[in-house]
Amino acid sequence: MNESYPDLSVEDIQAWVGQASYRKGDSYFHQGAIIEPRQQGMTLKAHCLGSSAPSYRVQATLDEDGVAEANCSCPVGDGGHCKHVAALLLTWLNNPDTFEENADLDTTLEQRSKPELIVLIRQMLQRYPELEYLLELPSPTTATNQAAIRPEIIRHQVTHAFARSGDDWGWRDFFETARDLDELLNLAGQYQEQSDNINAAMIYHVVADEILRHDDILMDEESDRLGGLVDDCVEGLGLCLQFIQDSNARRDILQAIFNIFLWNIRMGGVGIGDRVPDILMEQATPQEKETIAGWTQGALPGTHEWSQEILGGLLLDLQAEKLDDESFLEICRQTGRLKDLVERLLQIGRLEEAISETENAGDYHLLTLADTFVQQGHGSLAERLVHNRSASSHDTRLTIWLKDYAIQQGDISKALELATRLFWLKSSLTDYLEMKKLAIQISQWFELRSGTFDMLSKNKQFGLLVEIFLEEDEIDLALDALEEARTLARHRWEFPYSLELKVAKTAEISRPERAIHLYLNQIKSLIDKRGRDNYAEAANYLKVVQRLYKRLGRHEDWQSLLVSLRQENRMLPAFQDEMRKAGL
């Protein structure tokens, strides 16, 4: 063991990979899953036998604080917090002498002559022929004038990364494709480190452009990592802009970034390229902003309303310093930026126009515009607009807005009236509690409570009554309401079984016998549904019943129940098995 290596503890490993990966990694370690362990400088390397592949390449680099970085070729190994890394580190901790000490890779390669390296590369390509395409890639050097990379070379690399997966994509395809593309971004980063931002920008541009051509793949729920690579390209391009002065090169980069933004909009806003507007505003010169504004105007025709609104927001930002009020309002109308339109109208005192635009808005936009009126000091107008609309709309959000505004104005009586209306419209516990809170503030709860319960009973809303009584710790009333709900239910699915469980749990302390009865109802229902998961859940509830019988001192009743259940369900071996597992 190399004495210069820092100490590593179990706690260090757990902190790096997390408890879940540590437990699995410990099992892998004891199974001897780590093979061919070796150390190169401060880095540990090995292969780890896997469950979804013959083996994974795994490595970890140590420093004085423990684990500095790690990686694994498994699907979740990016960042090195998986069970395979845990197994590697545990092997080092417990069996360091099994690691063969090698010189680090750079030193090893530098010691080889050119003919030896050629032979070595040929041997590697014979074993891994799929790596031959890497020979096309240029390598960044410290030379001040490096040759321009041909975009076709990078495009071919991206095409190769996508082509290896065929037509049927699975998680492994996404992982391997993203891994190959990430290597190209690493290459771009190396060019940036050598201050060759032109070549770096070209790589970022081509990689992003080629990924976005596969929009069918990017729409897959497994494709987050590919979308993340596009975002990495956006960040890389933005960084290149900081160091590139050539106007033509800057225009190409800005166009590439803008196209990513436009792609995201046309796909309905999938979260790729969200940072583009910020980068354009931060990095573009005033003249470049005019150019981008022209691109934005050109993209407007033929786009959907939502897309136009997003593009309109960018257009307003790009031209903020030069737009007069009329030009601003015209862009807002052209792109559907209704909030910006009404806000500017209010700011310049054109109140009647603002009111007219708001009256013509849909319910959803009206709520946002009402807030704008309030912020601009026209709260009473906002209230009138929302009140007028609520008379003809079934959108309860309008009534909620009016209630909240009344509370802000200190008009609790009006707020209570609106809260009561909402309660009877929505019949939820949340609305009940809001109504109760407001009524208490003006000493009206006693009368309102009695009338509310009478009406709920009359309307046979016993499920809601159960929720209310549980909230108010009225267990006997909750039990009675639950029985009313059971009587009312004509079919099994009409009975609130989830509420029955809540009542049973609450009744355990003060009404244990009633709780037993409710749990037995649940157990019977679960057994009738069939299926091992339902049997396991039924067995868990039986353990609760066992505990309650024990507390009541009714041991014989418990044994009698157990015998009866076994006898009644003797033809259900899976249920009998789950009972045995539960210790019953």
Residue 352 domain flag: no
Supply the range of the domain harboring residue 21.
10-110
Q: Which of 480, 483, 509, 503 is nearest to 495 (CA)?
A: 483
pLDDT tens per residue across span 6-40 = 678 999 999 999 998 999 999 999 999 999 999 88
Is there a domain that residue 378 lies in? no
Domain count, the chain: 3
Q: Is residue 550 part of a domain?
A: yes
Residues 443 and 577 grouped into a single domain:
yes
Give domain status of residue 548, yes or no. Answer: yes
On whether residue 134 sits in a domain, the answer given is: no
Q: Does residue 380 lie in a domain region?
A: no
Name the CA dihedral angle for 463, 468, 469, 473, rounded to a multiple of 10 degrees: 140
Mean pLDDT of the region 530-548:
92
Q: Is residue 102 domain-shared with residue 155, that is, in the same domain?
A: no
Which of these three, 284, 303, 334, is where a domain ends? 284
Whole-prediction pTM:
0.70
Q: pLDDT tens digit string along 424-474?
A: 999 999 999 999 999 999 999 999 999 999 999 999 999 999 999 999 999
CB 61 within 8 A of CB 71: no
d(CA 24, CA 87) in angstroms, rounded, equals 8
Confidence of residue 1 (pLDDT cuts 50, 70, 90): very low
Distance CA 326, CA 504 (A): 66
Q: Judge contact between 336 and 305, C-beta under 8 A.
A: yes
Is 554 among the domain residues? Answer: yes
Residues 82 and 169 in one domain: no
Whether residue 95 is found in the same domain as residue 174: no
Tell me how far CA of residue 343 lies from CA of 222, 354, 355, 381, 547, in angstroms: 41, 8, 11, 14, 64
Same domain, 461 and 560: yes
| Residue 359 included in any domain | no
C-alpha 50/C-alpha 24 separation (Å) is 12
Last residue of a domain, one of 284, 309, 342: 284
Give the model confidence (pLDDT) of 88-111 as tens digits. Answer: 999 999 999 999 988 777 777 888
Pair (481, 571) in one structural domain: yes
Summarised one tens digit per residue, pLDDT across range 345-367 is 999 999 999 999 999 999 999 99
Shared-domain flag, residues 452 and 566: yes
- Name the average pLDDT for the chain: 89
CA distance 116 to 52: 36
pLDDT at 140 > cutoff 80: no
